[in-house]
Amino acid sequence: MITLSRLLLFAALNAILGHSIALDLDDYSKANNQSLLWAPYRSNCYFGLRPRYVNDEPFVLGAMWFNSINAQGLAKVRHFVEQGDKLDKYGWIWYDPRIGGRETIRDSESNLQLNFTFVKSHSGENWAVQVEGDLIDKNKEAAHSIVIYMKQNGKEDSSCYLNQNDIFTKNRNELSFTGFSNELKGYTIKLADENSKFYKDAVPPLSPDCDPSKPTVLSMNIPDDQLWKAKDVFQSLLKDSIQAHVETNPQLSANLIPSALTIRNIHNFPPGNVQYIQQTFEGHFKFNIIFNKKGSKDQIAENSVDHLIVLAEGLVQQKFNKKFGIADNSLYRDFAQETFSNLLGGLSYFHGTHLVDRETAFDNENFDRIELLNSNEEGPLELFSMVPSRAFFPRGFYWDEGFHLLQLLDYDSDLVFEVLHSWFNLIDKDGWIPREVILGDEARSKVPEEFRVQNPNIANPPTLLLAFSEILSRAKTIQEEMLESHLQENYQYEELDSSFQGDKLNNNPELLISYAKEIYPKLLKHYEWFRNSQKGMLEEYMEVPSINSKVHMEEAYRWIGRTFTHCLPSGMDDYPRAIPPDIAELHVDALTWVGVMTRSMKQIASVIDLVEEIKRFATIEENIVENLKTLHWDDDQKLFCDITFNDDANTDEALRKFVCHEGYVSLLPFAVKLIPHTDVERLKHILDSMSNTTTLLSPYGIRSLSKTDEYYDTGEVYWRGPIWLNINYLCLDALEYYFLESPLKKSEGQNEELFLQARTLYKQLRQNIIDNVYKIWKKDGYVYEQYNHKNGKGSGVQHFTGWTALVVNMIGKLPEEL
């Protein structure tokens, strides 16, 4: 608890520093917004660019490509990231949203090696994209059509525009455009090729307006909310054009196909705010797209793009090296940077309405799947978030995002704050945050219809508060260190500047603490919503003697929305639960996550010095820890288990039936550090469980479900055996907490064997995970959603650079030799 003397010291420090917190927050926000304004925030596209927090009239850019050497190329236009495209590889090899990055794509079917390199000016107002490509197989002919589309959004009666300028240069392969929006103001865009080899056949093109040997521009209008269909529009226009060609030239020869697959204004559209630019190449090509805001002091010159790229790559490498400390000669160095870059490459900005059903009532006794048929559009809302997978899950996931942020804490704490701030803004008047945030038609187009509608009865593991409490705890520690440094006259306050690199909160913790005070009422509402909405029926068990005398009545929970076969709200979809389901069942992981949430709220209250709230949360946390033992610990199996009501019981004690499935659910109270250090007996049983190769421990990580469980490797085999890195990471973190940094180290020698076992498991588990994920990446070029529990192969969604990127933290966090 903070003392009066320390409060006075903090007050004195603030007075000495002479800074207004409100002003600092404004300056912080301005600087952060500037450095994060532009980036490839349309991560569902192979390359898609838009500004953050510019919603009414944003400028939007996207890229497409296909091989137009034959007619089949039109059906294989690449635009949105799709697993079905079966590219050899795609992804960022270095990237930071504040600086820039390079995405490399290898598409053997199109015979194309393609790079997109994105960089920004120092102010963050201006940017450039360099597009470079070449044949993979020089012996195969190709006509690579690269299509860039750009749109200046804005209502028809607005002053927004995006127009092609007249060309006054002798270089026919240079295009320039002028645009304006009320939010972005005036800007120019230039596309310039650098000695690219355009496609040119020996025969003349079908018509002058579809000549593949030079850039082609088509201007038209597309409604703002339909731009995500840019590929469909492009293909439709080409089909109409081809049909017209065929009508006048029925015997279309093969060498004229690239000409036929060049876009033209077949319908005589008037110029509009969408510009399609198609360029077709037959060999190596390289061109730059340069955006400059009018009046900006650091506009990007055409001849400076290569230099900017070199500088940006150097900055990204330096930042990565500084934050993770992975040696340049490490076996894992390139793997780690690429994997982490792809986590950052999933950073997205969404804006639009979402579908919510607030009318459908949940029948707590019916465990059939609930149809959410009374949805309404709500919003518009906005979300700044990473995504688990650009191909398969390009949207915000509440339970995934906390793990994403834990990865970022040491790399860019300011970015963690920006994402958390965006998520917390979604808390509605009742305290609810959707488990999936799907904003607008572009995001909805990638989601199966049955999953698009959200319901405020359904929760998800509250990992966001886990991340927020961690960043606040660090801020408090830094603040106290600053106080000590100031008192010793060694402290210097760091001013905000334009070289914003993501560590301002570390140097100015009062900013974060001030925000915590501001957001606390909303977080409290969210906390209470979670506890109330997932409350379990403990009354059914009050006749059980071992429960009745010890239990805390308010702290029992279950996941609302569970069905006979799945418990989607828990995040572990098909992990086995009670069969048959029962209205009175209680879930150990639901109680555990409320414990995590309570501990986080206690830490937040501590940081902002709410003394009575600290006491209240501490009491609730203690009650939850005791209930974990009283309700959910099975002394026979030595596991934490779900419980259900036993209608066939012949004694009062037997009214509680343990539903034990050894695996991630049984390990969770340990993994999130809710077991007291003093509970050595239970810690030993859990350590034995994790170390057992006949049940949970595999050569590739800890299995999600024990090999001896009746449901192991059955059904969908999703959370019934495969290895997931998020839970393995938590287990490693907990091993370090309990046994490598534990106060128990100083206890009697009776625990020596226990610590030796823990250290051995830690080293073995960590190395097994790193080696396997690296081996699969080396072979396939990707990391995966999960890893096979029998052979270690990648399974589930390919290129799942959400929480699987936690492997980088495992590599970078090298403890001293154990």
State the pLDDT at residue 741.
Answer: 75
For the ranges 51-60, 354-363, 699-708, 748-757, which has the lowest average pLDDT?
Answer: 748-757
Is residue 361 very low, low, confident or very high in pLDDT (cuts 50, 70, 90)? Answer: confident
Segment 365-390, tens digit of pLDDT: 778 888 898 999 999 999 999 999 99
State the pLDDT at residue 502.
Answer: 81
Alpha-carbon dihedral 134, 135, 141, 145, rounded to 10 degrees: -50
| Residue 199: partners with Cβ closer than 8 Å, 6 or more residues away | 68, 143, 144, 212, 213, 258, 280, 281, 282
SS3 label, residue 406: helix
Segment 111-131, tens digit of pLDDT: 999 999 999 998 899 999 999
Higher pLDDT, 10 or 82: 82
Mean pLDDT of 452-472: 92
- Tell me the C-alpha to C-alpha distance, in Å, between residue 742 and each of 18, 678, 736, 759: 40, 10, 8, 12
Q: Is the pLDDT of residue 403 over 60?
A: yes
Specify whether 785 is catalytic: yes
| Residue 706: partners with Cβ closer than 8 Å, 6 or more residues away | 661, 662, 663, 695, 696, 712
SS3 label, residue 109: coil
Is residue 82 very low, low, confident or very high in pLDDT (cuts 50, 70, 90)? Answer: very high
State the pLDDT at residue 765.
Answer: 97
Quick check: 786 and 705 in contact, CB under 8 A?
Answer: no
CA distance 430 to 770: 42
% of residues, the chain, pLDDT over 90: 78
The DSSP result for 13-75, as a single string, is: HHHHHT--HHHHHHHHHHHHHHHTSEEB--TTBSSEEEETT--SS-EEEEEEEEETTSGGGGG
Q: Indicate the pTM of the whole model.
A: 0.93
Mean pLDDT of 307-327: 93
Beta partners for residue 784, in sequence order: 798
CA distance 507 to 493: 7
The secondary element (H helix, E strand) that includes residue 345 is helix 333-345
Q: Is the pLDDT of residue 687 over 80?
A: yes
Asked if omega into 509 is within 30° of 0 (cis), the reply is no
- Tell me the C-alpha to C-alpha distance, in Å, between residue 815 and each of 152, 243, 763: 51, 66, 10
State the pLDDT at residue 629.
Answer: 97
**What phi, psi does 17 have (nearest 5°)?**
-65, -30
State the pLDDT at residue 509.
Answer: 83
State the pLDDT at residue 193.
Answer: 92
State the pLDDT at residue 749.
Answer: 60
Q: Is the pLDDT of residue 54 over 80?
A: yes
For the ranges 39-48, 460-469, 769-778, which has the lowest average pLDDT?
Answer: 460-469
Quick check: 632 and 497 in contact, CB under 8 A?
Answer: no
- Tell me the C-alpha to C-alpha distance, in Å, between residue 73 and each of 126, 232, 242, 518, 801: 34, 14, 13, 54, 29
State the pLDDT at residue 730.
Answer: 97
Segment 545-582, tens digit of pLDDT: 999 989 999 999 999 999 999 999 999 999 999 999 99
Segment 724-763, tens digit of pLDDT: 999 999 999 999 999 987 666 545 566 788 999 999 999 9
For the chain, the domains span 36-324, 348-385+393-490+515-533
CA distance 571 to 459: 10
Quick check: 627 and 590 in contact, CB under 8 A?
Answer: no
**What phi, psi does 147 have (nearest 5°)?**
-115, 120
Query: If DSSP states are collapsed to H, E and C, what string results for 561-581?
Result: CCCCCCCHHHCCCCCCCCCCC
| Residue 322: partners with Cβ closer than 8 Å, 6 or more residues away | none
Mean pLDDT of 401-420: 94
Alpha helices in 136-256 (DSSP H): 230-248
% of residues, the chain, pLDDT over 70: 92
Please name the residue that has the structure tokens 């808390």: 427
Catalytic choice (334, 378, 543, 573): 573
CA distance 673 to 669: 6
CA distance 257 to 236: 16
State the pLDDT at residue 251.
Answer: 73
Quick check: 128 and 116 in contact, CB under 8 A?
Answer: no
Quick check: 354 and 443 in contact, CB under 8 A?
Answer: no
Q: Is the pLDDT of residue 15 over 80?
A: no
Quick check: 323 and 410 in contact, CB under 8 A?
Answer: yes
CA distance 13 to 28: 20
Mean pLDDT of 416-421: 94
State the pLDDT at residue 503.
Answer: 81
State the pLDDT at residue 491.
Answer: 40
State the pLDDT at residue 167.
Answer: 59
Sign of CA dihedral 335, 339, 344, 349: positive
CA distance 495 to 133: 43
The DSSP result for 729-784, as a single string, is: HHHHHHHIIIIIS-GGGGS-GGGHHHHHHHHHHHHHHHHHHHHHHHHHHHHHS--E
> How far from chain centre, in Å, is Cα 805?
10
Segment 587-636, tens digit of pLDDT: 999 999 999 999 999 999 998 899 999 999 999 999 999 999 999 999 99
User: 36-324, superfamily in CATH?
Assistant: Glycosyl hydrolase family 63, N-terminal domain (2.70.98.110)
Q: Which of 783, 813, 642 is nearest to 723 (CA)?
A: 783
Q: Where are the beta strands (DSSP E) in 207-347?
A: 216-220, 274-281, 285-293
Count CB neighbours of 618 within 10 A.
15
**Mean confidence (pLDDT) of the chain:** 90
For the ranges 242-256, 478-492, 618-632, 748-762, which has the lowest average pLDDT?
Answer: 478-492
Q: Which of 780, 797, 792, 647 is nearest to 718 (CA)?
A: 797
State the pLDDT at residue 480.
Answer: 76
State the pLDDT at residue 10.
Answer: 41
State the pLDDT at residue 497.
Answer: 41
